[in-house]
Amino acid sequence: MSMPASPRLRGALVAVWITAIGTPGCANHDPVARGQVSAFDTTLEITLMGVNRERAHEVSDILQADMRQLESAWHAWQPGPVSRMNALFNAGGEPFAAPPSVLPLLRLSRQLEAQSEGLFNPAIGHLLRAWGFQGRPADCLQPPATDLIQKAVAARPSMQDIKIDGFRLSSKNHWVKLDFRGIQLGYAIDQAIARLQDLGINNASISADGNLRAIGSRDGHPWSVAVHGPAGRGILATLEILGNEAAFTADPDESSFTWEGEIYHDIIDPRSGYPATGTTSVTVLHPIASTADAAATALFVAGPEDWHRVAKLMGIRYVMLTDDAGRIHMNPAMQARVKLKALNREVIISQPLT
């Protein structure tokens, strides 16, 4: 998770080239096209199998346009559909027409918030704004006043406060303020994968910030992703991605700031109004990137003591959590999938997730 910096797409799909996978002289290999899209204040690495140079450039133009549209539609505080929605929520309880570009994301976020018992909560934008995690550089940040945090927590803004009546929205809780940072990257990658499939591309991967969703295979071999240790300290583990699957990690170190010797990050516990404690990273495997993204955030907030219960509520089958003592917690199914590189860590295996 990283701090937003710009409301606009800062680049196109670039540096697309063709190489070959496989041993020279062997017939069983497909061309691979690689490129990059800059969006949501990060770089999306795109790999397409069996796609020639001309087709890759066509695909790049389509994905560039898609990402620009999504980023503009979901930005939490720059002018756009979400900022207009937030202003209307703040103004009163009168219903208004839901922007078509936001409604599917809002519905999904509402569902995932309920499943997580509110630990994933995109309605706490006022808290995120108070902490400064909406556009201000880290060296300008400091904790907000205690009374402001207390007011925001006492108001208990929730996605469930938003009434959806067909295509009209309303909320009587004026503290509801949408910020989709805990799901928007995963949801955008889901949309990009769906676009690739619509274009007839069935073997591809899209990765960003150590997160990845893939479809098909890499010339007959599984895709893989490296999971970095907290604060970027080396590679903690590697995971193979089987077929249509995503691996997302909640690791807030890039968005943290230090104030009077204390480190604060932007994964806020809605129950306290302060950054979640006890956890340093969570990795989730799931067929849907947006679910993996939201679940990683929720389980980070749940922490070492409650992650297993919340994972079951959300229907998550594969979890690896690192606590602030350096211990690695995972369920048996994840243990069978992960290849740990940090062999000096204590590993705690939970009961199975069903």
Task: Annotate 156-218 with three-state secondary structure.
Answer: CCCHHHCEEECCEEECCCCCCECCCCCCHHHHHHHHHHHHHHHCCCCCEEEEECCEEEEECCE
Exposed e or buried b per residue across 95-129, where buried means at least 16 C-beta atoms within 10 angstroms of its C-beta: eeebbeebeebbebbbebbebbbbbbbbbbbbbbb
User: What is the mean pLDDT of the segment spanning 159-175?
Assistant: 96
So what's the pLDDT on residue 220? 92
Instruction: Supply the pLDDT for residue 15.
Output: 42
pLDDT of residue 29: 61
The pLDDT of residue 57: 86
- How is residue 27 written in tokens? 């017939």
| Predicted local confidence at residue 213, as pLDDT | 98
| Antiparallel, parallel or unpaired: β 96-97 and 168-170 | antiparallel
Please give the pLDDT value at position 243.
Answer: 87
Beta carbons of 305 and 278 less than 8 angstroms apart: yes
Query: In which residue are the tokens 């104030």 written?
Result: 259
Whether residue 104 has pLDDT greater than 90: yes
Question: What's the pLDDT score for residue 138?
Answer: 65
28-37, 292-301, 324-333: least confidently modelled range = 28-37
The pTM of the whole model exceeds 0.75 = yes
- Which has the minimum average pLDDT: 223-227, 261-265, 312-316? 261-265
Retrieve residue 140's tokens. Answer: 């300008």
- State whether residue 102 is helix, strand or coil: coil
Burial of 137-162, coded b for 16+ CB within 10 Å and e otherwise, reads eeeebebbeeeebeebbebbbbbbbb
Kindly state the tokens that stand for 29: 């290999």
- What's the chain's average pLDDT? 89
Q: Domain spanning 222-354 has what CATH number?
A: 3.10.520.10
Is the pLDDT assigned to residue 320 strictly greater than 90?
yes
Lowest-pLDDT range, 24-33, 150-159, 325-334, 339-348? Answer: 24-33
Tell me what pLDDT residue 307 has: 98
CB 207 within 8 A of CB 150: no
Q: Report d(CA 230, CA 251) in Å as an integer.
A: 7
pLDDT in tens, 121-155: 999 999 999 998 877 766 778 899 999 999 999 99
Domain boundaries, the chain: 1-76+180-216, 81-170, 222-354
pLDDT for the residue numbered 19 = 47
- Selecting from 3.20.20.70, 1.10.3980.10, 2.40.50.100, 3.50.50.60, what CATH number does the domain 81-170 have? 1.10.3980.10
Mean pLDDT over 25-50 rounds to: 81
Model confidence band, residue 3 (pLDDT cutoffs 50, 70, 90): very low
pLDDT of residue 70: 95
Enclosing H/E stretch for 104: helix 103-115
Segment 257-308, tens digit of pLDDT:
889 888 899 999 999 999 999 999 999 999 999 999 999 999 999 999 999 9
Rounded CA-CA distance 48/248 in Å is: 20
For residue 150, the number of C-alpha atoms closer than 13 Å in the C-beta half-sphere is 3
DSSP 80: S
Q: Average pLDDT in the 174-191 region?
A: 96
Cα-Cα-Cα-Cα dihedral of 301, 303, 307, 309, to 10°? Answer: -90
At 253, is the pLDDT very low, low, confident or very high (cuts 50, 70, 90)?
low
Q: Which pLDDT does position 20 carry in this prediction?
A: 44
| Spatial separation of the C-alpha atoms in residues 66 and 115, rounded to whole Å | 29
CB atoms under 10 Å from CB of 26, counted, come to 9
What is the distance between the alpha carbons of residues 271 and 162, in angstroms, rounded to a whole number? 19
Contact at 8 Å (CB) between 100 and 114? no
What is each CA distance from 78 to 4, 72, 188, 204, 282, in whole angstroms?
11, 8, 18, 32, 29
